[in-house]
């Protein structure tokens, strides 16, 4: 239950007490709101008293009569607007002064309540105002949260790029100052580590490109029929050199035709990430099995590996940006921690789901389900 403070400025005591009585027991609720709204009404008989109240405590809503003994309603409105106070103002006016109401609307009043009004008319205006207020506040909150997330993202990203750069700088200085000897062979280890760091930065940048691509390059006209078997085959071809190096065999079992309406680039991002993880986090001599199947409405993709696995507690944050599991087994494996967060975003864009089941030391299975029918991805 949330309480909104309403200030009513009107020189007619009957109107003020009427508003207090009607709204005192009124509450507003909509299915999309997370709580009910009730109202706490305070009264002022003049514009001057109203402003004194506002200066003490900002109301959420102001019901403002225009014809007042001293300062006029539009002047009160002007006062509020100049100070940028976050108050929703509704004018209470008689039909005879509609022009005032229209001017007031231009000056920032969002509604006007014609006088005389029935309890029902007052309630429906308040209902409307509450809805607008709620939407305005929720939009503001979402913008603030979005900003915070963007800054967090940038700060982690800068850190992820700074660490390898520092390492590279260290190795180069070591060579410049000939700290390990005069021959190039004396620097085999720092050179190898530098190359690894460069490779790490490159894959981070590639992941970032995917990340921005799924956020910025949404184009409905790229959506077409995509046969997931073809995408899986491409992903396997791409990962093959790495699989050979890791001594991991990759199998594809395409049980039924799985065709979805999608941007093929998006599907490639999903398969490349899952298949390369199944190889990367595997063991020597291990297997990666990709199964493609479909039900009446969904395409189902299962990527299973016989690798190092993931503990139950680690699976919880797996799909969050920059999350990498740090333990003895992953110590020498490089990555950005972005891949699975990108995969999840893409899948959700297509109203699909992704889940993981894993047993440490035995392997992991990622299952994705994507609806086959065309959906809007914007
Ligand atoms: P990256 O591989 O770049 O670190 P991801 O977002 O693709 O980032 O994966 C996040 C983390 O999840 C990885 O660091 C790894 O610890 C774990 N992980 C992902 N896939 C697997 C897998 N198939 N088996 C075991 N662990 C995995």
Note the pLDDT tens digit of each residue in 325-349.
888 888 878 787 889 998 998 999 8
Q: Identify whether 116 is preceded by a cis peptide bond (ω within 30 of 0).
A: yes
CATH number for 42: 3.40.50.2300
- Residue of 339, 343, 362, 363 best suited for mutating to test ligand 1, as the one with most atoms within 8 Å of CB: 339
Residue 230's pLDDT is: 96
Task: Give the rounded distance of the alpha carbon of 229 from its chain centre.
Answer: 31
- How many CA atoms lie less than 13 Å away from 107 in the CB half-sphere? 21
271 in any annotated domain? yes
Q: Verify that 240 and 124 share a domain, yes or no.
A: no
Mean pLDDT of the 121-144 span: 86
CA of 159 to the centre of ligand 1 (A): 19
78-93 b/e (C-beta count within 10 Å ≥ 16 → b): ebbeeeeeebbbbbbb
Residue 101's pLDDT is: 66
* Ramachandran class of 366: left when φ > 0, alpha when ψ lies in -120 to 50, beta otherwise: beta
Nearest atom, ligand 1, residue 207 CA: 3
Task: Determine the Cα–Cα distance for residues 339 and 286; give it in Å rounded to an integer.
Answer: 21
- Provide the terminal-to-terminal Cα distance of the chain, rounded to the nearest Å: 35
Between 295 and 159, residue with greater pLDDT: 295
Mean pLDDT of the 72-96 span: 86
CA of 325 to the centre of ligand 1 (A): 7
pLDDT one-digit tens code per residue, 45-59:
999 999 999 999 999
81 in any annotated domain? yes
- Of 88, 114, 143, at which residue does a domain stop? 143
Number of domains in the chain: 2
Q: Whose CA is nearest to atom 27 of ligand 1?
A: 281
Q: What are phi and psi of 206, to 5 degrees?
A: -65, -45
310 in any annotated domain? yes
Residue 205's pLDDT is: 86
CATH number for 247: 3.30.565.10
- Of 127, 143, 159, at which residue does a domain stop? 143
Q: Whose CA is nearest to atom 3 of ligand 1?
A: 335
The mean pLDDT value of the chain amounts to 88
Nearest atom, ligand 1, residue 337 CA: 8
Paired sense of beta strands 37-44 and 27-28, if any: antiparallel
pLDDT one-digit tens code per residue, 275-324:
999 999 999 999 999 999 999 999 999 999 999 999 999 998 899 888 88
CA of 276 to the centre of ligand 1 (A): 10
Q: Verify that 108 and 22 share a domain, yes or no.
A: yes
Instruction: Quote the tokens at residue 40.
Output: 């706490």
Q: Verify that 117 and 246 share a domain, yes or no.
A: no
336 in any annotated domain? yes
262 in any annotated domain? yes
Domain containing 351: what range? 221-378
In this structure, the residues whose C-beta lies within 6 A of any atom of ligand 1 are 273, 277-278, 281, 305, 307-310, 318, 323-325, 330, 335-341, 364
- How many CA atoms lie less than 13 Å away from 68 in the CB half-sphere? 26
164 in any annotated domain? no
Task: Determine the Cα–Cα distance for residues 371 and 347; give it in Å rounded to an integer.
Answer: 10
- Of 98, 127, 143, at which residue does a domain stop? 143
Q: Verify that 112 and 227 share a domain, yes or no.
A: no
Using 50, 70 and 90 to split pLDDT, how confident is the model at 176?
Answer: very high
Q: Is residue 38 predicted with pLDDT exceeding 80?
A: yes
CA of 282 to the centre of ligand 1 (A): 11
- Residue of 157, 335, 356, 359 best suited for mutating to test ligand 1, as the one with most atoms within 8 Å of CB: 335
Q: Verify that 262 and 367 share a domain, yes or no.
A: yes
CA of 335 to the centre of ligand 1 (A): 8
Is 0.85 topped by the overall pTM? no
């Amino acid at each position: 239950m949330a309480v909104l403070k309403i200030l009513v400025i009107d020189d007619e005591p009957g109107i003020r007490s009427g508003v207090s009585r009607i709204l005192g027991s009124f509450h507003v609720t909509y299915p999309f709101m997370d709580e009910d709204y009730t109202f706490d009404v305070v009264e002022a008989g003049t514009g001057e008293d109203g402003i004194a109240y506002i200066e003490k405590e900002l109301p959420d809503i102001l019901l403002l009569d225009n014809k007042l003994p001293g300062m006029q309603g539009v002047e009160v409105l002007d006062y509020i607007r100049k100070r940028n106070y976050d108050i929703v103002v509704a004018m209470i006016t008689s039909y005879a002064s509609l022009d005032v109401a229209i001017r007031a609307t231009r000056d920032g009043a969002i509604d006007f309540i014609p006088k005389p009004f029935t309890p029902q008319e007052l309630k429906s205006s308040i209902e409307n105002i509450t809805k607008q207020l709620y939407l305005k506040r929720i939009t503001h909150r979402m913008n603030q949260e979005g900003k915070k997330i963007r800054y967090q993202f940038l700060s982690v990203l800068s850190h992820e790029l700074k660490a390898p750069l520092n390492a590279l700088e260290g190795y180069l200085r070591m060579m410049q100052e000939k700290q390990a000897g005069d021959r190039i062979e004396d620097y085999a280890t720092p050179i190898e580590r530098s190359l690894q760091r460069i490779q790490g930065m490159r894959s981070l940048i590639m992941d970032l490109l995917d990340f921005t691509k799924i956020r910025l390059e949404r184009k409905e006209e790229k959506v077409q029929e995509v046969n997931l078997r073809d995408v899986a085959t491409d992903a396997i071809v791409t990962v093959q050199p790495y699989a050979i190096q890791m001594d991991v065999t990759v199998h594809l079992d395409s049980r039924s035709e799985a065709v979805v309406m999608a941007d093929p680039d998006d599907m490639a991002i999903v398969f490349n990430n899952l298949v390369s993880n199944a190889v990367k986090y595997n063991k020597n001599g291990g297997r990666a099995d990709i199964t493609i199947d479909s039900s009446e409405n969904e395409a189902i993709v299962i990527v299973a590996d016989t690798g190092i696995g993931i503990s139950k507690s680690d699976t919880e944050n797996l799909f969050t940006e920059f999350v990498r599991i740090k333990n003895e087994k992953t110590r020498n494996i490089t990555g950005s921690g972005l891949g699975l967060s990108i995969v999840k975003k893409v899948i959700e864009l297509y109203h699909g789901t992704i889940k993981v089941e894993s047993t440490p030391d035995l392997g992991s299975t990622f299952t994705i389900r994507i609806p086959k029918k065309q959906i809007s991805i914007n």
